[in-house]
Structure 1
């Protein structure tokens, strides 16, 4: 909401807290997509941000739904976490979160982001592979895209929605109660993620407040590809000031 040059961190924090309060008032959960990764933010900083929202939800009387990305993001491309396969690192994200917190996990947004191409068959296949992996990791739900939505900002057709739904249906039937078997690299990735998530949260805890932590780059800096937004800047004032 902020790191992709969107809303000003102070404005985002105030609006976000109010939104969470509204969700709690009506006994609703709220979801938190980890889309910062698409800008190049490392997975551990994005996951740390999701966990901050989990605790905000707990303090404000409602529950969060985590939405980590199953994506081939810029940081992953540059650093080679998926050089050998797409299974280990995606699995490591889910299992790291499960080790840290007990709450629903709903990969998105959509799964397979940045692995699809304009070829509808390839796009459907990529979605189905990631859906099967998500199922084998026992997540609570997934978000999928139609085969044209996956790469295009244009209109979404019924046939392209059917492409993805049929592909995922067939993948689930093919896998049944079987599952993927990650390599030993997955455990290494998981341990690294937990360590770096912890380091990130400790750095954030040293900041004056959450907007300060965002502006200082603790949850993603310019080198990562994160640029705190400016929309709404200057619209937050302290009560009584």
Structure 2
């Protein structure tokens, strides 16, 4: 595993997309959050913690695209055959990519969410709640899980375009479809199982009883999506030709 991590880290840090994708995660997450925090007049009726972390709505796409590129770039160039020839343990290769993608997104996500929170504290002042550990830490974990979901989807589809469409559809189209369902019971169930609706419940600090799913349980749903995608991706990698 040590050799696989070293090899994947060498490829990751020398990839053309890495120098801009991780800073982009920080900038998009914090930038949109600061704009949202500065645009309201307090006191306000909205959940100010979710408002201060609004940028995650855009940052999640950057995290997913970064993870897609970690594996999808090798499929698009044909380098994946060289990788598997050098390291025949395909599950180990995917595990190494997952560890590195998770670590990079965790670092960039922590920076972006940290700036968002500090900016929100400065702009919203006492209107921001004191209990911030769950929303802040949960938001970073959410970004990591979305990245792992993107990596797993790429392993399944073996295509950057296919994985991007699949993950972005789950993040942005699925909540819209769920909101259009007329039956309130089915609508609530769909919100409980779509990754974005379920996972971002971890940011909530008001009206928790009205949420479709409890905050940590919602993050657990995203974890199941990520684990499921990685398991299916591992099966595809080990059973099909590169």
- The structure with more helix, counted as a fraction of residues: 2
TM-score by structure 2 length? Answer: 0.28
Q: Which has the higher contact order (CA 8 A, sep 6+)?
A: 1
TM-score by structure 1 length? Answer: 0.28
- The structure with more strand, counted as a fraction of residues: 1
